[in-house]
């Protein structure tokens, strides 16, 4: 079974459990913390995926890092995953959990790439555009600074991309010039 399918099933189970216990928001914050630690510490992520390291050792490392920082539901979930020797999928579970949480709460995920860090009025303007386009009231906006854009922005939402960057416009012009109808042989 693929990692995504396994992660999807575990994430769905964790959401159901947390929702039934009234702890969904707390568990979501715990999984966000786990994802942040994985993103900031590559060695931690590699340790979880390393088949040579005993799963009891992995559990003791997880307990050392998270035992006093996360809810008992989350810690129990980590224990169950390591007992089943599936800790290599924990990073994927955290990612899928966040996506399923957003879907459950009706939150639209969007990503905007600009040449600079967005200020609050501009961020609100992008959220307003996304809300109008999707009809959803909650928007989670991921921001990326890309100096190669020259200017403008690239907005990705619901599997679609709006490229209003100067880099994209220059690329379009290059393609148009390649197909010049006035020069024979093109």
Comparing CA positions, the residue from 2, 94, 6, 1 lying closest to residue 44 is: 94
Q: Report DSSP letters for 16-63, one per residue.
A: HHHHHTT-HHHHHHHHHHHHHHHHH-HHHHHHHH-SSS-HHHHHHHHH
In a domain, 183, yes or no: no
Residues 115 and 30 in one domain: no
CATH of the domain at 98: 1.10.520.20
Residue with tokens 């100067």: 166
pTM for the structure as a whole:
0.76
pLDDT of the chain, 186 residues: tens digit per residue: 578 899 999 999 999 999 999 999 999 999 999 999 999 999 999 999 999 999 999 999 999 999 999 999 999 999 999 999 999 999 999 999 999 998 898 888 889 999 999 999 999 999 888 888 888 888 888 899 998 888 889 999 888 888 888 888 888 888 888 877 776 655
Angle between helices 24-40 and 3-20 (to 10 degrees): 140
Task: Among 58, 78, 103, identify where a domain stops.
Answer: 103
Strand order in the sheet with 138-145: 138-145, 107-114, 153-157, 160-163
Question: What residue numbers bound the domain in which 113 lies?
Answer: 107-178
Residues 79 and 155 in one domain: no
Contact between residue 112 and residue 143 where contact means Cβ atoms under 8 Å apart: yes
pLDDT of residue 133: 83
Contact between residue 33 and residue 70 where contact means Cβ atoms under 8 Å apart: yes
Beta strands at 107-114 and 153-157: parallel, antiparallel or unpaired: antiparallel
In a domain, 160, yes or no: yes
Residues 113 and 27 in one domain: no
Comparing CA positions, the residue from 126, 129, 106 lying closest to residue 117 is: 126
Residues 139 and 164 in one domain: yes
Q: Which residues contact 137 (CB under 8 A, 6 or more apart)?
A: 106, 131
In a domain, 28, yes or no: yes
Contact between residue 166 and residue 149 where contact means Cβ atoms under 8 Å apart: yes
**DSSP code for 165:** -
The Cβ of residue 90 has, within 10 Å, a number of other Cβ atoms equal to: 24
Residues 61 and 128 in one domain: no
Q: Specify the number of domains making up the chain.
A: 2
48-59: string of b/e by CB count within 10 Å (b at 16+)? Answer: beeeeeebeebb
Residues 12 and 56 in one domain: yes
In a domain, 184, yes or no: no
pLDDT of residue 184: 67
């Amino acid at each position: 079974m693929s990692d995504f399918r396994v992660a999807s099933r575990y994430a769905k189970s964790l959401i159901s459990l947390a929702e039934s216990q009234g702890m969904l928001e707390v568990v979501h914050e715990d999984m966000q913390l786990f994802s942040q630690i994985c993103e900031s510490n590559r060695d931690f992520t590699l340790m979880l995926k390393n088949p040579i390291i005993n799963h009891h050792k992995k559990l003791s490392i997880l307990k050392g890092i998270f035992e006093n920082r996360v809810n008992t539901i989350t810690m129990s979930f980590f224990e169950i995953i390591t007992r089943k020797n599936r800790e290599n999928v924990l990073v994927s579970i955290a990612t899928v959990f966040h996506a399923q949480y957003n879907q459950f709460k009706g939150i639209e995920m969007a990503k905007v790439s600009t040449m600079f860090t967005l200020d609050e009025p501009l961020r609100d303007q992008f959220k307003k555009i996304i809300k109008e386009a999707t009809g959803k009231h909650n928007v989670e906006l991921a921001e990326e600074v890309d100096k190669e854009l020259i200017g403008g922005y690239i907005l990705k939402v619901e599997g679609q991309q709006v490229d209003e960057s100067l880099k994209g416009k220059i690329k379009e012009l290059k393609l148009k010039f390649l197909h010049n109808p006035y020069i024979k042989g093109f």
